[in-house]
């Protein structure tokens, strides 16, 4: 899938408003009914259906009419929402070439106003095993919107939180700059993934540094869980930077020892094969009786003085809580068990890997004139029983997300949250119907200025 940011220049404020409405609707509808989108978006002069058609044309939405007429966001649609939000915040002004493609992410270069280049990671959790997620629905029942949108957002939140915490503790990781939805902006690491390196000046030093990082991580109560030559970057001075954190776990995880040993073994194996390094002994946790085997002593998981709790305290401060960790672990572990089917349901979203090599997104400079968003004075109401999810849960989700919301998103979120609260309040008062169906119509004389999105090409 190409990230054709060129499309951004053709999208109006109404387009983004409707796109955001679909996103909000997806909190409790896998496919959002067109009528609900219209009600959430509340375009001043109507015209939601025309906008939907336009978004469909640009593949930002997917149309589904199997059960009822509805829409859902595509990855591209979600990408654009995140990109637009970040651009509006001034985090970056242009998107450049793709620099990485993982099983569950796409990485692009982005540049800020001063021309500083950073890395943008767009999480695609569930891209490969969307079916696996679906098959796990039984224990995910409590959250009908437990989908790639939610999982990718969690992965980004976790990655950002870990990167920040690790950075604070002096680990060689990229600088965590910003996150929004499924997107993380971080500093660009100079160098290459270790897997691409055929020769090293000082393989022993590099090996020791890497093993040292695994040990220090464990001392801080953490295990990377995907610590291998693909997630270790190395520069010309043979300086190491560790990347890719969504799967990290605490040393108190029930499979901690297995994950730790696997990380260590990956590094031993790689250095043995690639750089012909020889090691005296294998890693055996039970073998620490053997004196003189310094390496084995060092790599014994149980002998590491860990300070678990790092996760809970410091990560919660970044907005990544215990429940988030439980949700993401369920997905990761479920996937490990049954990730054999790569035939994703989202056929149009599955990347043709061959495409990635010659993907060269035109650079784009965006600047938006700030517009005041007056809020609608009128409250919109839903009919009771409209949504399948828990109203309360959704209302609190809305509040939770308000911190990150800007512009249109903030306005819609606030408005929807209000609707929820009033729906809950009315339900408590025992009312059957909550307002009339067309009460959403905007009768307040809001003067909405036309969106003026100025975009200029810039080359960098």
172 touches ligand ADP (CB under 6 A): no
Tokens of 377: 């004075």
> Quick check: helix, strand or coil at residue 451?
coil
81 touches ligand ADP (CB under 6 A): no
Which one of residues 189, 211, 315, 423 is an interface residue with ligand ADP (CB under 6 A)? 189
- Count of Cβ atoms closer than 10 Å to residue 85 Cβ: 23
71 and 22 Cβ atoms separated by less than 8 Å: yes
CA dist., res. 20 & res. 172, Å (int): 36
CA dist., res. 238 & res. 422, Å (int): 59
104 touches Mg ion (CB under 5 A): no
Region near ligand ADP per CB under 6 A, out of 181-189, 307-315, 334-342, 410-418: 181-189
232 touches ligand ADP (CB under 6 A): no
CB of 230 to Mg ion, least distance (A): 5
Number of residues that bind Mg ion (CB under 5 A): 3
Indicate the residue among 102 and 297 with the shorter CB distance to Mg ion.
102
Q: Give residues 236-275 in contact with ligand ADP (rule: CB under 6 A).
A: 243-244
52 touches ligand ADP (CB under 6 A): no
Q: Which long-range contacts (CB under 8 A, 24 or more apart) does 230-235 make?
A: 230/102, 230/193, 230/194, 230/195, 231/193, 232/193, 232/194, 233/189, 233/191, 233/192, 233/193, 233/194, 234/191, 234/192, 234/193, 234/194, 234/197, 234/200, 234/206, 235/189, 235/190, 235/191, 235/192
94 and 110 Cβ atoms separated by less than 8 Å: yes
Indicate the residue among 226 and 327 with the shorter CB distance to ligand ADP.
226
Indicate the residue among 14 and 104 with the shorter CB distance to ligand ADP.
104
Q: Nearest Cα to 379, choosing from 425, 441, 445, 428?
A: 441
C-alpha pair distances (Å), 159 with each of 83, 120, 167, 247, 459: 18, 12, 12, 8, 30
Q: Which residue is nearest to Mg ion (CB)?
A: 244
344 touches ligand ADP (CB under 6 A): no
Region near Mg ion per CB under 5 A, out of 239-247, 250-258, 346-354, 395-403: 239-247
CB of 196 to ligand ADP, least distance (A): 8
Q: Nearest Cα to 440, choosing from 49, 71, 51, 36?
A: 36
User: Among residues 226, 244, 327, 397, which one is catalytic?
Assistant: 226
Q: Nearest Cα to 206, choosing from 171, 243, 166, 237?
A: 237
105 touches ligand ADP (CB under 6 A): yes
Q: Which residue is nearest to ligand ADP (CB)?
A: 102
Which one of residues 103, 274, 330, 446 is an interface residue with ligand ADP (CB under 6 A)? 103
When CB distances are held under 5 to 8 angstroms depending on the partner's kind, the choice from Mg ion, ligand ADP, none that residue 130 binds is none
33 touches ligand ADP (CB under 6 A): no
When CB distances are held under 5 to 8 angstroms depending on the partner's kind, the choice from Mg ion, ligand ADP, none that residue 203 binds is none
User: Would you give the DSSP letter of residue 104?
Assistant: T
24 touches ligand ADP (CB under 6 A): no
247 touches Mg ion (CB under 5 A): no
Question: Could you report how far apart the first and last alpha carbons of the chain are, in Å?
Answer: 23
18 and 53 Cβ atoms separated by less than 8 Å: no
231 touches Mg ion (CB under 5 A): yes
Clarify whether 226 is annotated catalytic.
yes
Q: Nearest Cα to 390, choosing from 413, 423, 415?
A: 423
79 touches ligand ADP (CB under 6 A): no
CA dist., res. 96 & res. 288, Å (int): 51
Indicate the residue among 194 and 364 with the shorter CB distance to Mg ion.
194
- Binding positions for Mg ion, rule: CB under 5 A: 102, 231, 244
Positions marked active-site? 226
- Binding positions for ligand ADP, rule: CB under 6 A: 99-100, 102-105, 107, 119, 121, 174, 186, 188-189, 193, 230-231, 243-244
């Amino acid at each position: 899938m190409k990230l054709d940011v060129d499309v951004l220049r053709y999208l109006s404020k109404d387009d983004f408003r409707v796109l955001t409405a679909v996103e909000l609707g997806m909190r409790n509808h896998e496919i959002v009914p067109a009528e609900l989108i219209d009600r959430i978006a509340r375009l001043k002069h109507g015209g939601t259906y025309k906008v939907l058609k336009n978004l469909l044309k640009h593949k930002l939405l997917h149309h589904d009419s199997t059960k009822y007429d509805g829409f859902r966001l595509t990855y591209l649609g979600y990408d654009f929402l995140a990109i637009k939000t970040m651009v509006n915040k001034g985090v970056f002004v242009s998107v450049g070439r793709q620099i990485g493609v993982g099983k569950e992410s796409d990485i692009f270069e982005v540049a800020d106003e001063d021309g500083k280049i950073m890395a943008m990671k767009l999480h695609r959790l569930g891209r490969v095993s969307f079916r696996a997620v679906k098959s796990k629905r039984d224990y995910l029942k409590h959250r009908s919107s437990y989908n790639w949108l939610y999982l990718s957002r969690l992965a980004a939140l976790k990655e950002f939180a870990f990167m920040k915490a690790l950075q604070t503790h002096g680990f060689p990781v990229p600088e965590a700059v910003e996150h929004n939805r499924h997107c993380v902006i971080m500093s660009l690491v100079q160098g290459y993934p270790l897997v691409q390196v055929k020769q090293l000046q000082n393989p022993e030093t590099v090996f020791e540094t890497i093993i040292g990082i695994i040990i220090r991580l464990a001392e801080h109560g953490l295990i990377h869980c995907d610590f291998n030559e693909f997630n270790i970057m190395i520069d010309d001075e043979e300086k190491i930077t560790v990347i890719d954190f969504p799967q990290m776990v605490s040393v108190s995880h029930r499979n901690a020892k297995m994950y730790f040993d696997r990380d260590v073994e990956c590094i031993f194996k790689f250095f043995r094969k690639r750089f012909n390094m020889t090691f005296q002994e294998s890693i055996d946790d039970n073998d620490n009786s053997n004196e003189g085997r310094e390496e084995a002593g060092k790599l014994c998981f149980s002998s590491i003085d860990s300070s678990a709790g790092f996760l809970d305290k410091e990560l919660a401060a970044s907005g990544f809580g215990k429940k988030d960790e439980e949700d993401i672990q369920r997905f990761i572990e479920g996937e490990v068990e049954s990730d054999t089917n790569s035939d994703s349901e989202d056929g149009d979203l599955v990347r043709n890997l061959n495409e990635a090599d010659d993907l060269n997104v035109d650079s784009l400079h965006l600047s938006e004139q700030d517009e005041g968003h007056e809020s609608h004075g009128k409250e919109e109401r839903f009919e009771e029983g409209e949504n399948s999810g828990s109203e309360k849960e959704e209302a609190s989700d809305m509040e939770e997300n308000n911190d990150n919301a800007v512009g249109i998103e903030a306005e819609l979120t606030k408005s929807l949250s209000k609707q929820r609260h009033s729906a809950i309040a009315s339900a408590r008062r025992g009312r059957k119907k909550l307002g009339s169906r067309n009460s959403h119509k905007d009768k307040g004389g809001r003067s909405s200025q036309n969106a003026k999105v100025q975009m200029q090409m810039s080359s960098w």
